[in-house]
């Protein structure tokens, strides 16, 4: 039983670190993007990873500290993280559908810029 506890804590801490890294990665991609829809798409993906970070933190709290207060706080974090993942996954799907439209408009804009520049 002790080994199962150590494995579960290790997996949750690894998930915490990976989700933190991925959140930061997509936040940087969001900041560096010049297109509006692509920026919103990267923001929604970053927020999904933030939700996973919050969810894994709540699960880690419940697993490691087995008191009534930690159960309540952990449950709140799990609910908040799950809602964050659900909400921003819907936003990600919406913006992903609009990426080809923005790409086409961006190419048209660049084509017009090249024609007027000549």
Q: What mean pLDDT comes out for the span 65-91?
A: 95
Rg (CA), the chain: 20
User: How much is the pTM?
Assistant: 0.87
Per-domain residue ranges for the chain?
A: 2-117
pLDDT digits (tens, 9 = 90+) for 3-55: 988 999 999 999 999 999 999 999 999 999 988 999 999 999 999 999 999 99
As a whole number of angstroms, the distance between CA 6 and CA 71 comes to 19
118 has pLDDT over 80 = no
Cα–Cα distances in Å, from 14 out to 9, 22, 64, 65, 69? 8, 12, 14, 18, 24
């Amino acid at each position: 039983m002790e080994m199962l506890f150590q494995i579960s804590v290790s997996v949750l801490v690894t998930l915490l670190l990976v989700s933190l890294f991925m959140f930061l990665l997509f936040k940087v991609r969001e900041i560096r993007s010049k297109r509006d829809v692509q920026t919103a798409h990267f923001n929604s993906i970053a927020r999904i990873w933030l939700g996973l970070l919050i969810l894994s933190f709540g699960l880690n709290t419940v697993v490691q500290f087995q008191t009534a207060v930690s159960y309540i706080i952990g449950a709140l974090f799990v609910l908040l993280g799950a809602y964050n993942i659900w909400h921003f996954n819907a936003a990600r799907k919406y913006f992903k559908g609009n990426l080809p439209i923005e790409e086409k408009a961006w190419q048209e804009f660049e084509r017009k810029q090249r024609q007027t520049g000549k």
